[in-house]
Amino acid sequence: MLTIFLLLQFVFPFCIAQQNINLRSMKYSTRSSGEAALWQEDLRSRLSRLMKIDYLIATSETGLRLSPVIIKTEEKGNYILKEVEISSTPGRRIKVVITIPTWKMTEFPAVICMHGHGGELYSVYKKDTPDKAFATDLASNGYITIATTVSQHNIYEDNMTLMGERIRDLMRCADFLESLPQVNKSNIGCAGLSLGGEMAMWLGAMDTRIKATVSSGFLTNMDQMEKGHCMCWKFPGLRELVDYADIYSLIAPRYLLCQNGLKEPPTDFTVPLAREAIKEIAVIYDDYGKPDNVSLAAHPEGHVVDVPSLMEFFGKTLK
């Protein structure tokens, strides 16, 4: 009994303390705006290496061809919808859906739209999903939209990671948008729900071309995600570096809106946890002198996109 008592009193607390010391070594803390930028650059570099996308980013910068092939085209009233195949890596092709307004304008803002777990290529355009057809609303209101499939749980290529492949595909969506003459390249945003909200966080964090990010139904902490959630979010070395607030902090000082529903169950993406996280994220926005560029919309529904606040946000930041 004495041995057990000593273990409980001394050894177990020491082990827990050691575990905590090894987590979140890159947690953001207040500093000058110049130091904040250096922290962001360092963390992006570390994360890209962990996800094994650093060489792919370099490949894009040297001009990997998209080689788009149009699969089909549909007239949708005030916009045209196309399904297109493009190159994501030198050895892999992906399908995307893109919509282009038929309005008489030379350039339009654009939004990369991401579905959640179980979603498919057209999910963000459908009203009978938790996405509430937010991409269709954007397409009908003068935005170019693009979507691809990010719900895969298989790694397609050797020496890659799941999260790395997902982010890579989304970055190639941004590359494709930049290749279109109709896109205002300084006004590109991204948005998604659940897994899509997670991917919006990652894309906004890792790709500085993204001017405005809407992350819906995801803002929380990693301890919460360890309990009964799909573990596809986790990869070796992640928790040793950061929690989600630190990844979101990579978006600063660009625009960020997080949405969490008041009817989310206690095991999911609750508003109290989101409010704790947004306080941490707000620190770097304060350091940049841009406190109004980050916000949390706590809407009255559950695990869905809040379309009105999304449309208002992009109307202010991209138009």
Q: Does any domain span residue 12?
A: no
> Which pLDDT does position 7 carry in this prediction?
41
pLDDT higher than threshold 80 for residue 60:
no
Q: Does any domain span residue 4?
A: no
Q: Does any domain span residue 254?
A: yes
| Secondary structure of 151-178 as H, E, C letters | CCCCCCCCCCCHHHHHHHHHHHHHHHHH
Q: Which tens digits make up the pLDDT trace of 198-243?
A: 999 999 999 999 999 999 999 999 999 999 899 999 999 999 999 9
Q: Which domain holds residue 86?
A: 29-317
- Collapsed DSSP state (helix, strand, coil) of residue 185: strand
**How far apart, in whole angstroms, are the C-alpha atoms of residue 88 and residue 142?**
27
> Which pLDDT does position 21 carry in this prediction?
54
Burial per residue of 268-286, b for 16 or more beta-carbon CB atoms within 10 angstroms, e otherwise: bbbbebbeebbebbbbbbe
**How far apart, in whole angstroms, are the C-alpha atoms of residue 273 and residue 14?**
27
> Which pLDDT does position 61 carry in this prediction?
59
> Which pLDDT does position 56 carry in this prediction?
72
Confidence of residue 18 (pLDDT cuts 50, 70, 90): very low
CB 263 within 8 A of CB 217: no
Q: Which tens digits make up the pLDDT trace of 170-183?
A: 999 999 999 999 99
> Which pLDDT does position 187 carry in this prediction?
98
Most distant CA atoms of the chain, gap in Å:
82
| Secondary structure of 98-160 as H, E, C letters | EEEECCCCCCEEEEEEECCCCCCCCHHHCCCCCCCCHHHHHHHCCCEEEEECCCCCCCCCCCC
Q: Identify the CATH number of the domain in which residue 198 sits.
A: 3.40.50.1820
> Which pLDDT does position 104 carry in this prediction?
85
Q: Which two tokens stand for residue 105?
A: 């304008």
Q: Does any domain span residue 168?
A: yes
**How far apart, in whole angstroms, are the C-alpha atoms of residue 185 and residue 261?**
32
Residue labelled with tokens 């000082």: 253
Mean pLDDT of 47-69: 84
Q: Does any domain span residue 13?
A: no
Q: Which tens digits make up the pLDDT trace of 249-264?
A: 999 999 999 999 999 9
CB 215 within 8 A of CB 244: no
Question: Which of 118, 301, 256, 133 lies closest to 195, judged by CA?
Answer: 118
- Collapsed DSSP state (helix, strand, coil) of residue 63: coil
**How far apart, in whole angstroms, are the C-alpha atoms of residue 187 and residue 108?**
8
pLDDT higher than threshold 60 for residue 120:
yes
Q: Work out the burial of residue 162: count CB atoms within 10 Å of its CB; fewer than 13 is exposed, 13-18 middle, 19 or more buried.
A: middle
Q: Does any domain span residue 160?
A: yes
Q: Which tens digits make up the pLDDT trace of 134-151?
A: 999 999 999 999 999 999
Number of domains composing the chain: 1
Q: Does any domain span residue 9?
A: no
Q: Work out the burial of residue 234: count CB atoms within 10 Å of its CB; fewer than 13 is exposed, 13-18 middle, 19 or more buried.
A: middle
Q: Does any domain span residue 20?
A: no
DSSP string over 251-317: TTTSEEEEEEETT--TTS--HHHHHHHHHHHHHHHHHTT-GGGEEEEEESSSSS--HHHHHHHHHHH
